[in-house]
Amino acid sequence: MTYVGRFAPSPSGPLHLGSLVAALASWLDARAHGGRWLLRIEDVDTPRTVPGAAETIMSQLRALGLHWDGDIVWQSQRGEAYQQAFDALAQRGLIYGCGCTRREIADSALRGGYTNADGERPYTGTCRAGLAPGRQARAWRLRVPPGVETFTDRWLGPQQQDVEHAVGDFVLKRADGLWAYQLAVVVDDAAQGVTDIVRGADLLSSTARQRVLARLLGAQPPRVMHVPLVTDPESGLKLSKQNGAPALDTRQPMLMLEQAWRALGFAPVQVATPEKFLQRATLLWARRFVRHAA
Q: Are 194 and 70 in contact (CB under 8 A)?
A: no
If binding means CB under 6 A, how many residues of this protein chain bind ligand GLU? Answer: 7
Give the integer Cα–Cα distance in Å for 181 and 225: 19
What minimum distance in Å lies between the beta carbon of 11 and ligand GLU? 9
Among 42, 43, 149, 258, binds ligand GLU (CB under 6 A): 42
What minimum distance in Å lies between the beta carbon of 134 and ligand GLU? 37
Give the integer Cα–Cα distance in Å for 73 and 60: 18
What minimum distance in Å lies between the beta carbon of 75 and ligand GLU? 9
Among 3, 10, 139, 219, binds ligand GLU (CB under 6 A): 10
Q: Are 18 and 229 in contact (CB under 8 A)?
A: yes
User: Does 168 participate in binding ligand GLU (rule CB under 6 A)?
Assistant: no
Element (H, E) at 280: helix 274-289
Give the integer Cα–Cα distance in Å for 152 and 87: 31
Active site residue 276: no
Site string for ligand GLU, 196-235 (x = CB under 6 A): ---x---x--------------------------------
Spatial CB neighbours of 51, under 8 Å, sequence gap ≥ 6:
none
Identity of the residue, 54 or 257, whose beta carbon is nearer to ligand GLU in the bound complex: 54
Give the integer Cα–Cα distance in Å for 85 and 130: 22
What minimum distance in Å lies between the beta carbon of 269 and ligand GLU? 25
Give the integer Cα–Cα distance in Å for 190 and 133: 38
Interface residue list for ligand GLU (CB under 6 A): 8-10, 42, 185, 199, 203
Which sequence positions are flagged as catalytic?
A: 241
